[in-house]
Amino acid sequence: EPEVTQTPSHQVTQMGQEVILRCVPISNHLYFYWYRQILGQKVEFLVSFYNNEISEKSEIFDDQFSVERPDGSNFTLKIRSTKLEDSAMYFCAGQGGKNYGYTFGSGTRLTVV
Amino acid sequence: AQKITQTQPGMFVQEKEAVTLDCTYDTSDQSYGLFWYKQPSSGEMIFLIYQGSYDEQNATEGRYSLNFQKARKSANLVISASQLGDSAMYFCAMREILYGNNRLAFGKGNQVVVIP
């Protein structure tokens, strides 16, 4: 079963630093997403990406965030100047395939200190 | 407004028993999809089952089945013959297809603990 791969699995960063979270989606997926889950809370949509551009974003996805697919395979989420409240699990997901569903990566746990 | 409501408190289930997890949703869209995901303590999100709004049959995937009651806007997950490995958080989610919206809206989750 193809997988969505996320790296790193854990990242600790100092407040104000930039972080880049990486994802390798499944090759035949067309839509890509970032979601986040603050500890103990529900999963929240951040952004969707299709045809090399953002197709939709939530109110959470402000100017601190950016996404790109620099080499046609990796899909990255950048947070420019991290805040304490950015501490969360970040999930990459792709859509495509027979289950109509979204295949999620195993997540990156980001801790901002 | 909440799109997905999961209000059950944490549940303890005896191994081999069935458990039903409640999910109600709110949408004015006629075309939507409903999903259930499992999140074990390791944190990953595992897709379990999908129900389309136009599907006439309730979805089933192995030990998972979805009790879809469209008029009541509910999409309850039934896990039959619980196993210890079923201990996890379970999230109900919805995709509204209106205007090509592809985002998933998640509920707050149900915690299930299976006891031997």
A58 and B103 within 8 Å at the Cβ level: the answer is yes
Overall average pLDDT of the A88-108 stretch: 83
The 10 Å CB-count burial string (b at 16+, else e) for A59-79 is eebeeebebebeeeeebbbeb
pLDDT of A98 > 60? The answer is no
pLDDT tens by residue, B41-76: 988 899 999 999 999 899 999 999 999 999 999 999
Quick one: how far is CA A86 from the chain centroid?
12
pLDDT tens by residue, B8-38: 888 999 999 999 999 999 998 888 899 999 9
Tell me the shortest Cα–Cα distance from A70 to chain B, in angstroms: 23
How distant, in Å, are the alpha carbons of A96, A101, B35, B39, B44 from that of B89?
Answer: 24, 18, 14, 5, 10
Distance, CA of A59 to CA of B92 (rounded, Å): 22
> What are the chain A neighbours of B103 within 8 Å (beta carbons)?
33, 45, 48, 56, 58
Across chain A, what does the average pLDDT equal?
A: 90
